Chains A and B, each alone.
Chain A
Amino acid sequence: MSNAKLVAESGKIVDVAAKDAPLTVRGLTVSYGNKPAVFSVDASIPAGSMTAIIGPNGAGKSTFLKGALGVVPRLSGEVRIFGKLFAEARDRVAYVPQRASVDWDFPARVIDVVLMGLYGSVGLFRLWRSRHREQAMDCLERVGMADFADRQIGQLSGGQQQRVFLARALAQNAEFYLLDEPFAGVDAATERAIVSVLKELKAEGRTVVCVHHDLSTVPEYFDRVLLINVRRIAEGPVETTFTAENLQETYGGRLAATHIDELHLA
């Protein structure tokens, strides 16, 4: 990181190069109890990129995302979103939590969940109206779920639930999408549908970050990687950073050498 290009902005100093980057993280540490889940991680996500956060189970990938968005408290570290505090840039960001983190027995229909994404455009003390419903239907259309709008959410398969979550994020019409394990436990058709939507988002100039666990699809889906195992191991374009050496360091012995050979590494 070049230190020369530093300017003061609203009392804090940020990197000029990363000033307007969707996400700049410096020294992020999050701990559960007295054990750091994420330790002193730096990261910088450039605009218009599609980044996979990868690392072994329990390596702090999701925690990194939650810590960056302030969903869990940070022990230390600075986070800037488009050069601002998250609270000031909230409406430019869409966050998709892990599917398993919510109760799918909640009394709601598919359309109700997507409407939640339009929260920002409904006024305080107001309720959703028919124009919101139309917008929500468009989002469901994009993920191929329009026919399921009035279905109870508990009746969906895992892949369909993930599509509903993605539709909710689309409804937010954000510039920066952060998804926590969007491909976990989904069927192949859903995975294709989600990838094509994400690629559309990228084509529209938006930025996408996914916590991802399937190494074999990284080069196909993403253009950048952030390797995390409690600490940041490496970050950069897939071509130069998604290497056997970096993966070995990230995964340690948990990733068999033969497995690495099968990957389409740079």
Chain B
Amino acid sequence: MSFIEYFISALFLQAGYNSALVAVGAGLLGLSAGSAGAFIFLRKRALVSDAISHATLPGVGLAFMIMVAFGSDGRWLPGLIIGSAVSSAIGLLMVEWITRKTRLTEDAAIGAVLSVFFGFGIVLLTVIQTMSSGRQAGLENFLLGSTAGMLISEAMTIAIAGALAAAFVFMLRRPMTLVAFDPEYAATTGVNVRNIDLAMMGLALIVTVIGLKIVGLILIVALLIIPPVTARFWTNQVGPMIGIAAGVGGLSGYIGAVLSAAEASLPTGPIIVLIAFGFFLVSALFSPLRGGLASALRHQRFQRRVHRRQGLLSLARREPIYDGLTLRILRRSGMIRRDGVATARGRVAAQKAARDEARWAVARRMLPDDSAIERYDGLTPIERMMTPDQIDEIDRIIAARNGAKA
């Protein structure tokens, strides 16, 4: 069977029970990681999960050693998961403790915890390598993840845990949304912000430990970060953002697991991360809402409008224009001649801009409390903000004042 055929059959879960289970598990993992990550992202604590994931390593090592001491072969996945959960919880508490008790900031605490726990974990791994039963432990696979040779029971564990985590996110979505959006308001409505924060981090922890086997502890943090960053490009609302993040995470996990099942040389974790990055890249460039192309175009248009408006006002006031870009824009739109003198069209447009400006000045005096006027950005034509009779009223005031002056 060719790679493509295998990929397609695996994509539709027809390539064998085991790889189907792995794919579903990875999909569920991505789903819960994406949605949990969205809350953490909104809370601006994305890299706390990096500390959590690196802090799993000593737990994996210690759990292995303890299980061996009790006579098992030490590779029982639920045992390793529990061990990693305990040590990453300790790491998380250390981050909190350092930031609360000392003057160090959270980024320093994260960096310290992740490197020290990871270093200690490596020390334990080298100890395990010297144990007679540890030579074939394969614990290094937890660094980068691997689905090759995964047991059905392990795939089952991951799929069930992934489903549980997804359910957990679904249950807590309302209070977590509140806290992520506005913690102070959430507190006034009786939500215990600290507990919800802990629950969020707990979710990250769960996602991390169940993702260890598939994605590995160095890259699992990507599944918590990339989907929400991607989702942010498409929406300004919390609800849809969480949904999109979950979708991106789920798809990345699913497609990545299928791809690496189809081609054994492709390591699962990196493939999943790169697929997620692909989603990010497309969104970052092409999203009409906040994508790079759309933003760049919008900014350029905005800058041109500002220069055009300022240029026209200068023309109306018979002030010289120095700015090169302003001159170019006016020249190109036929407002001024090559030598900088206003054309007939330019004079009309300049007069209109000046009249607009005078009308706005009066409007501000007339309606000082009006929120529409406070929002004035200096560019919007007054016709778009005021009714014709309001404008007539403004013009009457201007005429009266000019009459008084004359």
Consider the complex of A and B and state whether they touch directly, i.e. have CB atoms less than 8 Å apart.
Answer: yes
**Residue from B306, B318, B319, B364 in contact with A252 in the complex, judged by beta carbons closer than 8 Å:** B364
Are B320's CB and A3's CB within 8 A?
Answer: yes
Residues of chain B lying within 8 A (CB to CB) of residue A77: 323
Expressed in whole angstroms, the Cα–Cα distance for A76 and B377 within the complex equals 15
Which chain B residues in 308-338 approach chain A with CB under 8 Å?
Answer: 309-310, 313-314, 318-320, 322-323, 325-326
- Residue B378 is within 8 A (CB to CB) of chain A in the complex: yes
Count how many pairs of residues, one from A and one from B, have CB atoms less than 8 Å apart in the complex: 66
In the complex, chain A residues whose CB is within 8 Å of the CB of B313: 40
Chain A interface bracket (under 10, 10 to 19, 20 to 34, 35 or more): 20 to 34
Interface residue A34 (Cβ < 8 Å from any Cβ of B): yes
From B365, which residue of chain A is reached at the shortest CB distance?
Answer: A249
* Contact call B302/A40, Cβ cutoff below 8 A: no
Most buried by A among B309, B368, B369: B368
A39: Cβ under 8 A from any B Cβ:
yes
* Residues A31 and B302 in contact, CB atoms below 8 Å apart: yes
Select which of B307, B319, B373 is within 8 A of A1 by beta carbon. B319
A27: chain B residues at CB < 8 Å are 310, 314, 323
> Complex: how many Å from CA A75 to CA B318?
22
- Whether the pair A39, B377 counts as a contact (CB closer than 8 A) is yes
Given A1-B319, A78-B322, answer yes or no on A231-B368 (Cβ-Cβ < 8 Å).
no
Does chain A have a CB within 8 A of B103?
A: yes
Residue of B nearest to A27 (CB): B310
The SS class assigned to the B binding surface is helix
Taking the nearest CB of chain A, how far is it from the CB of B321, in angstroms? 9
Task: List chain A residues, Cβ under 8 A from B302.
Answer: 31, 34
Q: Which residue, A6, A12, A77, has most C-beta atoms of chain B within 10 A?
A: A77
- Beyond A13-B320, A26-B322, whether A76 also contacts B373 by CB under 8 A is no
User: CB of B174 within 8 A of chain A?
Assistant: no
Q: How far is the CB of A234 from chain B (nearest CB, A)?
A: 11
B310 contacts A76, CB within 8 Å? Answer: yes
Complex CA–CA separation, A65 to B376 (angstroms): 21
Within the complex, the shortest CB–CB distance from A8 to chain B, in Å, comes to: 10
Task: Flag if A252 contacts B368 (CB, 8 Å).
Answer: yes
Task: Bits for A33-59, please: 1 = Cβ < 8 Å to B, else 0.
Answer: 011100110000000000000000000
- Which B residues form the contact surface with A (CB < 8 A)? 103, 298-299, 302-303, 306-307, 309-310, 313-314, 318-320, 322-323, 325-326, 361, 364-365, 368-370, 373-374, 376-379
Q: B322 and A35: CB pair below 8 A?
A: no
B96 → chain A, closest Cβ, in Å? 19
The minimal Cβ–Cβ distance linking A3 to chain B, given in whole angstroms, is 6
Partner of B365, one of A29, A40, A245: A245
Q: How far is the CB of A83 from chain B (nearest CB, A)?
A: 14
CB distance from B99 to the nearest CB of A (A): 13
Q: How far is the CA of A53 from the CA of B309 in the complex (A)?
A: 25
Bound complex: CA A29 to CA B325 (Å): 14
Cα A84 to Cα B319 in complex, Å, equals 20
Interface string of A76-87 (1 = CB under 8 A from B): 111000000000
Q: Do residues B298 and A34 form an inter-chain contact, with CB atoms below 8 A?
A: yes
| Neighbour of B306 across the interface among A13, A29, A248, CB < 8 A | A29
Q: How far is the CA of A31 from the CA of B361 in the complex (A)?
A: 21
A76 and B368 within 8 A (CB): no
Are B377 and A35 within 8 A (Cβ)? yes
A248 touches B368 (CB 8 A): yes
